[in-house]
């Protein structure tokens, strides 16, 4: 684990393939109430292929500091950009899940000189419309003392389809992350943050591959939402079978080849 110093605190990240300076830098951004270890399979596989992979925690998540006052997707985008700059990346590929999918899209729009490829996975580029039951359940999950266990259970339930290897350990990481009061507050602020919607992407120069899980319970029609995201970013859309909201951990066997293909295209462009 390493730390990136930002104006109001530090962002924790893991760096796979630290010595592969000739490879492409890939920056990975998880979604809310997720831990960076969800990208462990992607990081290990791409590092074995000769690339560097930096997987960050969101603000107040994992081992990042809980001292920030901005927990929006734009804030996460600025952290991802700062991390890429810290590591001296050029023609960077950014991968983001859920809220992280919006963050990497914003980063690519803000820094076309830095970000050459993006992979929004199960991405929220626009606000969802939860029903009354989900609104009530979410309010309940954001209260202590039961909130940490309820949120961990909700996170578990988003893994429809294949269960990742080491999933029990990942659930333990998420629960441990949510137990401290300051971190739970940061996660709650992330859930309630006034995130930007990315309804159009004029000026986006980065190559894009949009990835969705066929069983993702966050949408009534996951394929339709992924198709809409693809229309916004002008990217190819790939739906993964036996997969819910976390393609990076549930289907790394399919995600890693997609990333390797995108990296090859980005390097050819450069």
For 74-99, the pLDDT digits (tens) are: 999 999 999 999 999 999 999 999 99
Q: What percent of the chain has pLDDT over 90?
A: 92
The pLDDT, as a whole number, for residue 72 is 98
Confidence bin at 211 (pLDDT 50/70/90): very high
pLDDT score of 130? 64
> What's the chain's Rg over C-alpha atoms?
17
Paired residues of 94 in beta bridges: 27, 118
Whether 213 and 245 have beta carbons less than 8 Å apart is answered as yes
What is the rounded CA–CA span in Å between residue 105 and residue 201?
8
∠ CA 236-240-243, nearest 5°, is 140
CA distance 99 to 126: 10
Residue percentage of the chain with pLDDT more than 70? 98
Residue 203's pLDDT band, with cuts at 50, 70 and 90, is confident
The answer to whether 218 touches 211, Cβ cutoff 8 Å, is no
pLDDT of 171 > 90? The answer is yes
What is the C-alpha to C-alpha distance for residues 223 and 211, in angstroms, rounded to an integer? 10
Average pLDDT, the chain: 96
Is the pLDDT reported for residue 132 higher than 70? no
Residue 61 token pair: 């998540």
Rounded Cα–Cα distance for residues 151 and 141 (Å): 6
The Cβ of residue 121 has, within 10 Å, a number of other Cβ atoms equal to 31
Per-residue model confidence (pLDDT) at position 80: 98
Q: Going by C-beta distance under 8 Å and a sequence separation of 6 or more, which residues neighbour residue 86?
A: 4
Residues 6+ apart with CB under 8 A from 246: 34, 38, 97, 122, 158, 159, 164, 213
What are the tokens at 197?
A: 């919607």
Parallel, antiparallel or unpaired: strands 52-56 and 115-121: unpaired
Q: pLDDT at position 145, please?
A: 93
């Amino acid at each position: 684990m390493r730390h990136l110093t930002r104006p109001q605190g530090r962002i924790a990240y893991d760096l796979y393939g630290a010595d592969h300076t000739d490879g492409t830098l890939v920056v990975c951004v998880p979604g809310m109430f997720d831990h960076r270890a969800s990208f462990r399979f992607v990081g290990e596989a791409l590092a074995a292929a000769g690339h560097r992979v930096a997987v960050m925690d969101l603000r107040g998540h994992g081992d990042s500091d809980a001292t920030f006052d901005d927990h929006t997707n734009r804030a996460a985008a600025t952290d991802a950009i700062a991390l890429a700059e810290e590591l001296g990346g050029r023609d960077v590929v950014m991968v983001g899940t859920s809220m992280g999918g919006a963050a990497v899209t914003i980063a690519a729009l803000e820094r076309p000189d830095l970000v050459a490829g993006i992979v929004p996975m199960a991405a929220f580029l626009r606000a969802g419309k939860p029903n009354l039951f989900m609104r009530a359940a979410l309010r309940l999950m954001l209260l202590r003392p039961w909130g940490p266990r309820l949120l961990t259970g909700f996170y578990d339930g988003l893994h429809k389809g294949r269960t990742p290897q080491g999933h029990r350990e990942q659930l333990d990481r998420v629960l441990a992350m949510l137990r401290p009061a300051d971190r739970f507050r940061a996660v709650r602020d992330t859930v309630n943050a006034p995130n930007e919607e990315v309804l159009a992407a004029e000026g986006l120069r980065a190559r894009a591959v949009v990835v969705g899980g066929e069983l993702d319970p966050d949408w009534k029609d996951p394929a339709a939402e992924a198709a809409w995201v693809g229309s916004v970013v002008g990217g190819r859309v790939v739906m993964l079978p036996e997969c819910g909201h976390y393609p990076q951990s549930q289907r790394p066997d399919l995600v890693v080849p997609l990333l390797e293909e995108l990296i090859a295209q980005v390097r050819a462009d450069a």
